Amino acid sequence: MLAAVRKALDLLQKNVQVVSPHESGLVAYTCISAGMSPDDPYVKGLIDKILLKIKTDSYVPEFHHNYEAGVDAMALVAADKAKYRDKIQHIANYLLKNQQVNGSWDYPAQKNGGDTSITQYGMLGLWAAARAGVEIPMKALDQSAIWHVQTQLRNGAFCYQPLGVETSMKHSMTMAGVGSLGIARLLMSRNAQELESLEEPDAKTKKNEKAFGVLERVTAKETPDQPFAAAPTDANYKPQVSSRDLDAAMRRGLGWLVTNYTVDKNATGWHLYYLYGLERAASLANLEKIGGHDWYTEGYRVLLKVQDADGGWTDTGGKISATCFAVLFLVRATEKLVPNAPSPRAAPKAATFGGGLLAGGRGLPTDLANVDTKDGNVTAKKMNTPLDKLLAELENPKSEKIESAQAALVEAVQVGQREQLIGQKDLLLKLAKDSRVDVRRTAFWALARCNDLRVAPVLIQGLMDVDFDAAVEARNALCVLSRRPRGFGLPDDLIAKLAENASQAEKDSAFEKWRDADLRRWREWYQSVRPYSERDKLPD
């Protein structure tokens, strides 16, 4: 991921003359979100372009009106929210002035009844301003929330101009709508502690599973149906939308995505714009998975495949904006802004198997004696099925028995059916490239037990898996295949040794160093033991 982002940032800097003033906010925000300093000459030049739009007492965008205002506010807040506080206030005033009576935003002098796409950037701009200490009127937030709730389609989706001519449901607009609802939910709460995951299980609310169980394994915490606290400047205003209304609308939108889930370029239109919207919606809802899909890993893999040779991305809307949207997805820009949002590597994530934590903390078991099936470490009911049928179940993209098949496969191999894996090697090699991380991890585990050195290149390739747990599983598999239980002495997880307050950049860097060192050692090992016929098959 870091290499892809670095290439993209290099492209943006090499094309400084191509970035127009109306794109300067988006590019600046992208660069800062990706770790560049606001004092970097390139970023500072972009910020200066934004400041030229702010006169004595007003903000005058160059071209893209409310879109431009939203990203300009985001950029200034990311650069230095205290230094640019007055400038950010002017942008907020511009957005508040342009908000329609019905709570939406639209193109100037057009009467579409509101535009879901433009409205999301109005809300993003107000959210940024709020982070800088600008007081956002409760009425403005409430009116926007009302518009979203009223224009959401019955199936949970959103369209581009729900009261105009563009009324077909779209992936990008649904994520825009869910994201805007999430921003309203956050800002209207006035209390960061109220922002809880929509997917957080709670034993006390299991009775609500039928009502809220749209997402996989969801038992949502009940939200009191109470009005939000009004801002000091409009203390007499009584919001018409409750926190429960917003939660329900967000779940409906996410429920539509469960049924219509995709990260495919050809299925969405405005593909990279959609992926950034997906990152925002999932981060604001505190979701690592949607309908069983690891949305980040799957989106990450797609982005790496379609990245241009020059480091950018090409999509509807132009190369500069497409590259920015891709980078913002990769660095999970929104997640950093959401109170209580989970971080993918904030602490070592224990691998899960069958719904429970594995004994030993990470990786599939090397021996069933290490798994406590009585205390909930492996909770999936094992399938009494021949090994080839178990692998076929894993291969089935619509299977709802993945966990059971995994548990049964491990047991079958450990109790004496290991030799059957040899005949299934081709299928296992295919499963090692599956889009589902749990399937890839299981394939790595099984390949190690085929007792065939020729599968080592696939496992070495697995060290570069975008999912940290899958990369660790590939490393564990190489330890089994090579008969080197401790590998080459590297710790299981460098991140675990970092300070609790380590930055995301430090965690990413530690992960990359761990991966690079392990990758080099395993390549060297395979060079020394590989069959002569396999000499050209080691991954670069």
Q: What pLDDT does 293 receive? A: 85
Structure tokens at 274: 């959609």
> Which domain-ending residue is among 271, 304, 337?
337
**Total count of domains within the chain:** 2
Structure pTM?
0.62
Task: Give the containing element (helix H, strand E) for 481.
Answer: helix 468-482
Kindly state whether residue 43 falls inside one of the protein's structural domains. Answer: no
Tell me the HSE value of 374 on the side-chain side, using a 13 A CA sphere.
1
Give the pLDDT band of residue 344 (cuts 50, 70, 90): very low
Judge whether residue 323 has pLDDT over 90: yes
Q: How many CB atoms lie within 10 A of CB 133?
A: 12
Same domain, 124 and 13: yes
Same domain, 277 and 356: no
Q: What pLDDT does 439 receive? A: 81
Q: List C-alpha distances in Å: 119 to 135, 222, 332.
A: 19, 28, 21
Same domain, 454 and 525: yes
Range 483-493 average pLDDT: 66
Same domain, 330 and 374: no
Question: Of the ranges 216-225, 285-294, 305-314, 396-405, which is most confident?
Answer: 305-314
Domain holding 330, by residue range, is: 2-20+102-337
Give the pLDDT band of residue 204 (cuts 50, 70, 90): very low
Same domain, 396 and 445: yes
Kindly state whether residue 63 falls inside one of the protein's structural domains. Answer: no
Same domain, 357 and 480: yes
Kindly state whether residue 296 falls inside one of the protein's structural domains. Answer: yes
Higher pLDDT, 92 or 343: 92
Among 50-64, 291-305, 465-479, which stretch is predicted with the lowest mean pLDDT? 465-479
Kindly state whether residue 61 falls inside one of the protein's structural domains. Answer: no
> Which domain-ending residue is among 277, 308, 337?
337
Chain mean pLDDT for the chain: 77
CATH number for the domain spanning 193: value is: 1.50.10
Give the pLDDT band of residue 371 (cuts 50, 70, 90): very low
Same domain, 427 and 294: no
Same domain, 8 and 119: yes
Judge whether residue 209 has pLDDT over 60: no
Q: Which residues of 104-126 are buried (b: 16+ CB within 10 A; e: fewer)?
A: bbbeeeeebbbbbbbbbbbbbbb
Same domain, 493 and 446: yes
Give per-residue pLDDT as tens, 97-154.
999 999 999 988 778 889 999 999 999 999 999 999 999 999 999 999 999 999 999 8
